[in-house]
């Protein structure tokens, strides 16, 4: 087994300070990697950009999921590859689903940039007595 962590794969709280990554999970197809970090975010990355040192491949996450109010301690893809679960210090578990038909209006032309993804929370499991 070979473990590689490129310098550009990180979580940052305020663009100046790098924060810890607490959890990593691979998508069942091996083409994506999810990370959960101290910046309260889940990020989804392309494994191609990691395994092939290709400067043409963008060194940015495919998606940044920001709905937690505490550090994300665990991320896991479902075995059927449809969902991504994240648990955080905010005592909430979120179940995310990729929106393959998204039209992201946050970009100037109203469409997703090439190579980006949209994941939406479809379930919020709250009420835990402690960190998840």
CATH class of 11-123: mainly beta
Residue 130 is predicted with a pLDDT of: 66
Q: Indicate the domain borders of the chain.
A: 11-123
Q: How far apart are CA 49 and CA 20, in angstroms?
A: 21
Q: What is the mean pLDDT of each run of 10 residues along the chain (132 residues)?
A: 63 70 93 92 86 65 93 96 95 93 54 72 85 57
Residue 29 is predicted with a pLDDT of: 94
Residue 104 is predicted with a pLDDT of: 53
Q: How far apart are CA 72 and CA 49, in angstroms?
A: 23
Is 0.85 surpassed by the pTM of this model? Answer: no
């Amino acid at each position: 087994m070979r473990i590689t962590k490129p310098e550009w794969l990180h979580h940052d709280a305020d663009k100046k300070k790098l924060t810890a990554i607490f959890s990593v999970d691979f998508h069942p197809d091996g083409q994506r990697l999810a990370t959960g970090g101290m910046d309260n975010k889940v990020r989804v990355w392309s494994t191609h950009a990691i395994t092939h040192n290709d400067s043409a491949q963008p060194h940015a996450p495919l998606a940044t999921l920001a709905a937690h109010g505490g550090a994300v301690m665990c991320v896991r893809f479902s075995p059927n590859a449809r969902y991504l679960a994240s648990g955080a210090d905010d005592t909430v578990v979120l179940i995310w689903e990729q929106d393959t038909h998204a039209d992201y209006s946050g970009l100037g032309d109203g469409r997703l940039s090439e190579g980006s993804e949209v994941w939406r929370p479809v379930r919020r499991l709250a009420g835990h007595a402690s960190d998840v």
